């Protein structure tokens, strides 16, 4: 036996012992209990000759199968979690390895199998619950077929099968899962975001559970809240609701007991034989603690419990947390969406979320991602499909991040005859409508109680046809959906009457545009595509270039060379190879044209960070400032995208390894609660206020410096902000520009309160003229530039000597980094700080108070970092600042 084989054999042995454990201990034993099938054995049907009916009997030897020790995994995720699988995701993600992975093995069905123990008791009922299997599965238990692939279909098609008559002390469960074709099946696809996972996401990607009940069973718990007076001014009426099903062939009287916080509620319901009814318990909460989005208040969650008893014995029970908040939606005079939360107009500042490429769930990583969202000043994530597990919404509830969930575009989900994005839409069959119905029932039941959910999109790029729309709306209403339902995230020439007209735009951009793009709003604004007006459901300059430390993890030496030497090359780590985003050509055209041709990889990457920072800052600033524009308010934006499914080179505000770079800090500056921003087009300075409660007089100081460090112009203004609006407070159109026509200048804006405390400090680097946009030649993904802004002067900046002092914050968990440009006569431009461990590897995640900063001559800035782990050195470098490493004391 070779060492490898021994390892496989031992792993198999351990897995079968673990299986034996699971077999001996009953998965559930009391009514209302739900148990998760903890692990799987998986194998391709090409390697198993036994019939699935026979495999679904206890005692089958599966030691030669793969043994992923996880409760849910797509085939790829299962293989990666199996001890016998030799590759890791680091291998698969390196260079173009994934391109050579054997896809054909996934063109046949695969099997998922496990055994579990129960103690079946007379009078007790048992249910097998799926939460969606991709693309579809035949379901076998104890030698019987429980469901076929027509019923158990779709990634979100959750079903509950009663298995009372076939359970036994030892039970064998088998799923035969079928391959996924995104155009034929209801999967979880990535469209053009990244290469397809080799298995197209096929498999038991969500938990499978066994539930035990007595003679009556409850459906999912719903909680509704209504307000007698404007929210926040009186009481809230809270109703707990669930279907209740009599599983026996006799009349039954059910005692329903509910708990809301510390209030107990009770009611009696009589059900006819085998009938289904609804139980509803109601209470009034005076002056409830409201649940708020993070920036506006606390995230109070209440506990709700519901149980049903027959003859004094609990038959089923369920519990959830919920929050008391109200969301409303209006379509304004421009036909744009405006959401309100608890009666306050809520400007959506968000980004598009992506699942992991293999749909693996990582609670710690996701929690960090949501903390990053808040740290960047955003308040929302959009899910275009990628509706994750219930844990997702528990975390967004707890942190106060709003969620805009809905179906995905460009595949089976939108295979309508009028969808010109799909070549040959596979027209939906009756079975497909049934899958859509099961999917919306399942997802609505999961989402209904979560206060962080803002709305539901029943379509993305296209609207659903009338039959599908009626199914979606019917299911949402049946499950007491109280939130807005939006037909789709774009504005085209149709909509389902039952939902109403579209109110969002999806006009791009998705690729690079210059910063003035966002400010170029010329009323009537409708010919300006993505610029900051209305509600943009997916848009951005496409930026998000990782730093070298991250790139080196997934790019080979030759990949790194082509990154900066071949500006038009097709890159495997861009979007899908057949998409419009397989190269960095548009991005590089701007980068070379504005900043000058890069002279090295380092130079290219630093210039990329500058371009990324400028791009995201301008987008968030323009949307923030123009929120109260009289002509057409900028009511919401979803940056495309927040994160990436795998290590990639664009479309993310931080990289796959959670390292934050230029795009992150541009967003973080642009998203500040109170802020001053420069309008590249009108050359006004805008005062921005996203808070509900911060008050007082404000001072805005501004100064323009030349590349030589000499002051060109400066001034100061006083202002008070007004509720729910931004305003222009300084006009810089005559302050600089004409006299320094030939060169780049720096502009610093500082906002301070009446005690002189700095609320926002913001530095721009500006060319004599802005980029000339060729609006007429716009495509769905970008607007070209006919003449680039000339920022090449930055290459000639004299060196600045920055002194760095690093100290640890008292109490630990953090660092203070003081950057001192006191010895220089020129600005220290675009100085980045990076924390590494003893081996020189990045510490990720780190929450920096600010980064990629520009210091005036003589200026000192203090940055703070919080993180877990052991930081050893802080690396400091900038455009005109030599790289140094300073030890963490």
Is 18 a binding residue for ligand NAG by CB under 6 A? The answer is yes
Query: Taking the complex as a whole, how short is the minimal distance between the CB of residue 120 and ligand NAG, in angstroms?
Result: 9
Q: How far apart are CA 461 and CA 489, in angstroms?
A: 6
Q: Is residue 437 involved in binding ligand NAG (CB under 6 A)?
A: yes
DSSP class of 692: S
Q: Tokens 């405006």 correspond to what residue?
A: 338
Residue 538 catalytic?
A: yes
Q: Residues 854 to 873: which contact ligand NAG by CB under 6 A?
A: none
**In the beta sheet, which residues pair with residue 281?**
240
Rounded to 5°, the CA angle 208-213-218 comes to: 85
DSSP 641-682: -S--SSS-SSS-SS-TT----HHHHHHHHHT-SEEEEE-TTT
- Residue 261 found at the interface with ligand NAG (CB under 6 A): no
Residue choice 88, 270, 421, 568 for contact with ligand NAG (CB under 6 A): 568
- The C-alpha atoms of residue 350 and residue 624 are separated, in whole angstroms, by 12
Binding mask 148-187 for ligand NAG (x = CB under 6 A): --------------------xx---------xxxxx----
| Ramachandran sector of residue 16 (left: φ over 0; alpha: ψ -120 to 50; beta: rest) | alpha
Residue 742 Cβ, how far from ligand NAG at the closest point, in Å?
25
Binding ligand NAG by CB under 6 A: which of 134, 200, 369, 760?
A: 200
- Using Cβ positions, the residue closest to ligand NAG within the complex turns out to be 721
Contact between 161 and 72 (Cβ < 8 Å): no
Closest to ligand NAG by CB, 756 or 811? 756
| Closer Cβ to ligand NAG, 247 or 705, answer by number | 247
Considering only the stretches 383-391, 703-711, 715-723, 799-807, report the one whose residues sit in contact with ligand NAG under the rule CB under 6 A.
715-723
- Residues 6 or more apart whose CB falls under 8 angstroms from that of 77 comprise 68, 70, 203, 205, 358, 359, 360
Q: Does 585 bind ligand NAG (CB under 6 A)?
A: yes
480 binds ligand NAG (CB under 6 A): no
Give yes or no for residue 69 binding ligand NAG (CB under 6 A): yes
Question: According to the binding rule CB under 6 A, does residue 335 interact with ligand NAG?
Answer: yes
Minimum CB distance to ligand NAG smaller for 215 or for 220:
215
Q: State the Cα–Cα distance between residues 729 and 411, nearest whole angstrom.
A: 48
Using CB under 6 A as the binding rule, whether residue 142 contacts ligand NAG is answered as yes
Provide, rounded to whole angstroms, the least separation between the CB of residue 213 and ligand NAG.
Answer: 12
Tell me: does residue 567 bind ligand NAG (CB under 6 A): yes
**442 Cβ partners below 8 Å, 6+ apart?**
131, 132, 156, 157, 158
Does residue 666 belong to the site contacting ligand NAG (CB under 6 A)? no
Is 94 an interacting residue with respect to ligand NAG (CB under 6 A)?
no
Shortest distance (Å) from residue 45 CB to ligand NAG: 14
Q: What is the C-alpha separation between 793 and 744, in angstroms, rounded?
A: 6
345, 426, 498, 560: residue in contact with ligand NAG (rule CB under 6 A): 345
Residue with tokens 């070298």: 548
**Shortest reach from residue 262's CB to ligand NAG, in Å:** 30
Q: Which of 199, 207, 336, 461 is catalytic?
A: 461
Q: From residue 599 to residue 638, what is the string marking binding to ligand NAG with x (rule CB under 6 A)?
A: ----------------------------xx----x-----
To ligand NAG, the closest distance from the beta carbon of 235 in angstroms equals 23
Question: 471 or 766, CB closer to ligand NAG?
Answer: 471
Q: Is 407 in the site for ligand NAG (CB under 6 A)?
A: no
Q: Does 353 bind ligand NAG (CB under 6 A)?
A: no
Q: Which is nearer to ligand NAG, 464 or 871 (CB)?
A: 464
By CB under 6 A, residue 597 contacts ligand NAG: no
Size of the site for ligand NAG (CB under 6 A): 49
Residue 429 makes contact with ligand NAG by CB under 6 A = no
Which residues touch 445 (CB under 8 Å, ≥6 apart)? 158, 219, 220, 222, 479
Residue nearer to ligand NAG on the CB measure, 182 or 746: 182
Binds ligand NAG by CB under 6 A, chosen from 27, 338, 415, 669: 338
The reply to whether 273 sits near ligand NAG by the rule CB under 6 A is no
Three-class secondary structure of residue 478 per DSSP:
helix
Distance CA 274, CA 363 (A): 40
Confirm or reject binding of residue 549 to ligand NAG (CB under 6 A).
no
Which candidate, 453, 416, 456, 460, places its Cα nearest to that of 440?
456
Q: How many CA atoms lie within 13 A of 518 on its CB side?
A: 31
Cα–Cα dist 730/674, whole Å: 16
Cα(835)–Cα(841) distance, integer angstroms: 8
Q: Would you say 433 or 847 has its CB closer to ligand NAG?
A: 433
Using the rule CB under 6 A, is 252 a contact of ligand NAG? yes
| Binding residue (CB under 6 A) for ligand NAG from 269, 498, 681, 692 | 692
- Segment (H or E) for 364: helix 363-375
CB-CB contact of 498 with 528 (8 Å): no
159 token code pair:
């079903």
Residue 230 binding ligand NAG, by CB under 6 A: no
Half-sphere exposure of 73 (CA within 13 A, CB side): 23
CB of 248 to ligand NAG, least distance (A): 6
Count Cα neighbours of 322 within 13 Å in the Cβ-side half-sphere: 25
Q: Residues 785 to 844: which contact ligand NAG by CB under 6 A? A: none
774 is catalytic: no
Q: Residue 385 contacts by C-beta under 8 Å, 6 or more apart in sequence?
A: 188, 189, 406, 407, 408, 413, 460
Q: Tell the smallest beta-carbon distance from residue 785 to ligand NAG (Å).
A: 11
Residues contacting 175, CB < 8 A, separation 6+ = 111, 112, 113, 133, 137, 138, 139, 140, 204, 208
Q: How far is the CB of 115 from ligand NAG (least distance, A)?
A: 12
Check binding of 721 to ligand NAG (CB under 6 A).
Answer: yes
Matching residue, tokens 């008559």: 165
The residues in 495-534 that bind ligand NAG, with binding defined as CB under 6 A, are 501
- Full strand arrangement of the beta sheet holding 846-848: 803-808, 814-820, 860-867, 846-848
288 is an interface residue for ligand NAG by CB under 6 A:
no
Q: Which of 115, 192, 443, 538 is catalytic?
A: 538
In angstroms, give the least distance from the CB of 811 to ligand NAG.
31
Match 């050195």 to its residue by tokens: 873
**Rounded to an integer, what distance in angstroms lies between the CA atom of residue 706 and that of residue 356?**
45
Residues 439-478 that bind ligand NAG (CB under 6 A): 441, 471
Closest CB to ligand NAG among 124 and 200? 200
Q: Which is nearer to ligand NAG, 168 or 272 (CB)?
A: 168
Q: Which stretch binds ligand NAG (CB under 6 A): 256-264, 331-339, 534-542, 774-782?
A: 331-339
What's the closest the beta carbon of residue 721 comes to ligand NAG, in angstroms?
A: 3
- Grouping H, G, I as helix, E, B as strand and the rest as coil, residue 431 is helix
Residue 581 neighbours by CB under 8 Å, 6+ apart: 192, 510, 511, 542, 574, 575, 650, 651, 781
Four-CA torsion 500, 504, 508, 509, nearest 10 degrees: -170
Q: Which of residues 269 and 843 has its CB atom nearest to ligand NAG in the complex? A: 269
If you search the block for the tokens 């087009």, which residue do you land on? 681
Catalytic sites, residue numbers: 461, 538
- Binding residues (CB under 6 A) for ligand NAG: these are 14-15, 18, 69, 103, 106-107, 142, 168-169, 179-183, 196, 200, 215, 252, 310-311, 332, 334-335, 338, 345, 434, 437, 441, 471, 501, 567-568, 585, 589, 627-628, 633, 689, 691-696, 720-721, 723-724
């Amino acid at each position: 036996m070779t060492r490898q084989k021994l390892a496989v054999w031992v792993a198999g042995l351990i897995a079968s012992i673990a299986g034996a454990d699971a077999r001996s201990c009953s998965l559930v034993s009391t009514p209302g209990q739900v148990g998760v099938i903890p692990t799987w054995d998986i194998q391709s049907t090409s390697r198993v000759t036994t019939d699935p009916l026979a495999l679904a009997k206890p005692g089958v030897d599966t030691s030669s199968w793969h043994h992923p020790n996880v409760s849910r995994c797509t085939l790829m995720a299962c293989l990666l979690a199996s001890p016998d699988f030799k590759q890791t995701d680091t291998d698969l993600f390196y260079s173009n390895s994934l391109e050579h992975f054997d896809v054909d093995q996934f063109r046949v069905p695969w099997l998922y199998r496990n055994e579990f123990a129960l103690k079946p008791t007379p009078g007790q009922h048992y249910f097998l619950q799926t939460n969606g299997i991709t693309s579809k599965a035949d379901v076998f238990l104890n030698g019987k077929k429980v469901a076929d692939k027509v019923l158990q279909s779709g990634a979100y098609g959750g079903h509950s099968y009663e298995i009372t008559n076939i359970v036994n002390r030892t039970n064998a469960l088998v799923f035969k899962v079928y391959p996924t074709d995104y155009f034929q099946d209801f999967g979880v696809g990535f469209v053009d975001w990244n290469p397809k996972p080799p298995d197209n996401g096929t498999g038991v990607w969500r938990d499978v559970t066994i539930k035990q009940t007595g003679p009556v069973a409850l459906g999912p718990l719903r909680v509704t809240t209504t307000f007698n007076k404007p929210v926040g001014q009186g009481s809230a009426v809270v109703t707990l609701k669930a279907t209740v099903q009599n599983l026996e062939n006799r009349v039954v009287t059910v005692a329903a007991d509910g708990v809301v916080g510390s209030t107990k509620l009770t009611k009696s319901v009589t059900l006819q034989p085998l009938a289904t009814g609804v139980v509803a318990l109601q209470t009034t909460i005076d002056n409830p603690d409201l649940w708020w989005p993070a920036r506006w208040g606390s995230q109070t969650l209440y506990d709700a419990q519901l149980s049903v008893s027959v003859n004094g014995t609990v038959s089923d029970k369920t519990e959830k947390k919920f929050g008391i908040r109200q969301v409303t939606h209006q379509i304004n005079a421009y036909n744009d969406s405006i959401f309100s939360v608890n009666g306050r107009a809520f400007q959506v500042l968000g980004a598009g979320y992506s699942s992991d490429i293999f749909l693996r769930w990582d609670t710690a990583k996701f929690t960090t991602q949501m903390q990053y969202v808040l740290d960047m000043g955003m308040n929302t994530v959009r899910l275009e499909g990628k509706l994750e597990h219930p844990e997702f919404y528990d975390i967004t509830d707890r942190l106060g991040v709003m969620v805009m969930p809905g179906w995905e575009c460009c595949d089976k989900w939108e295979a309508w005859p009028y969808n010109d994005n799909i070549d040959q839409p596979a027209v939906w069959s009756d079975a497909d409508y049934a899958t859509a119905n099961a999917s919306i029932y399942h997802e609505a039941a999961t989402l209904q109680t979560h206060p962080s959910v803002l709305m539901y999109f029943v379509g993305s790029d296209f609207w659903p046809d009338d039959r599908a729309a009626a199914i979606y709306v019917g299911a949402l209403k049946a499950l007491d959906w109280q939130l807005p339902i939006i037909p789709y995230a774009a504005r085209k020439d149709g909509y389902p009457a039952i939902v109403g007209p579209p109110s969002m735009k999806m006009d791009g951009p998705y690729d690079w545009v210059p910063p003035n793009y966002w400010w170029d709003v010329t009323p009537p604004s409708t010919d300006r595509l993505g610029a900051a007006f209305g509600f943009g459901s997916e848009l951005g300059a496409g930026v998000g270039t990782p730093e070298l430390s991250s790139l080196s993890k997934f790019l080979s030496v030759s990949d790194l060379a082509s990154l900066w030497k071949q500006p038009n090359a097709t890159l495997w780590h861009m979007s899908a190879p057949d998409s419009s985003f397989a190269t960095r050509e548009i991005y590089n055209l701007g980068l070379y044209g504005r900043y000058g041709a890069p002279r090295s990889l380092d130079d290219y990457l630093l210039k990329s960070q500058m371009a990324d920072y400028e791009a995201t800052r301008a987008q968030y600033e323009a949307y923030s400032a123009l929120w109260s524009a009289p002509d057409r308010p900028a009511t919401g934006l979803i940056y495309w995208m927040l994160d990436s499914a795998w290590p990639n080179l664009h479309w993310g505000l931080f990289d796959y390894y959670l390292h934050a770079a230029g795009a992150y800090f541009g967003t973080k500056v642009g998203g500040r609660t109170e802020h001053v921003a420069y309008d590249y087009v009108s050359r006004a300075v805008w005062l921005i206020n996203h808070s509900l409660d911060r008050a007082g007089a404000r001072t805005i100081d501004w100064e323009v410096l030349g590349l030589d460090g000499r002051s060109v112009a400066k001034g100061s203004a006083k202002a008070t902000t007004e509720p729910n609006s931004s305003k222009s407070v300084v006009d810089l159109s005559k302050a600089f520009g004409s006299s320094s026509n030939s060169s780049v200048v720096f502009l610093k804006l500082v906002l301070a309160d009446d005690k002189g405390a700095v609320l926002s400090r913001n530095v721009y680097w500006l060319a004599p003229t802005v980029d000339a946009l060729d609006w007429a030649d716009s495509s769905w993904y970008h607007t070209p530039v006919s003449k680039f802004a000339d920022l090449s002067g930055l290459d000639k900046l004299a060196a600045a000597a920055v002194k760095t002092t690093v100290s640890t914050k008292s109490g630990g968990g953090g660092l203070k980094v003081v950057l001192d440009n006191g010895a220089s006569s020129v600005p220290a431009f675009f100085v980045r700080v990076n924390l590494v461990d003893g081996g020189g590897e990045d510490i990720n995640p780190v929450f920096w108070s600010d980064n990629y900063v520009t210091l005036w001559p003589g200026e000192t800035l203090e940055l703070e970092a919080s993180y877990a782990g052991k930081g050893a050195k802080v690396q400091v470098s900038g455009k005109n600042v030599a790289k140094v490493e300073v030890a963490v004391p």
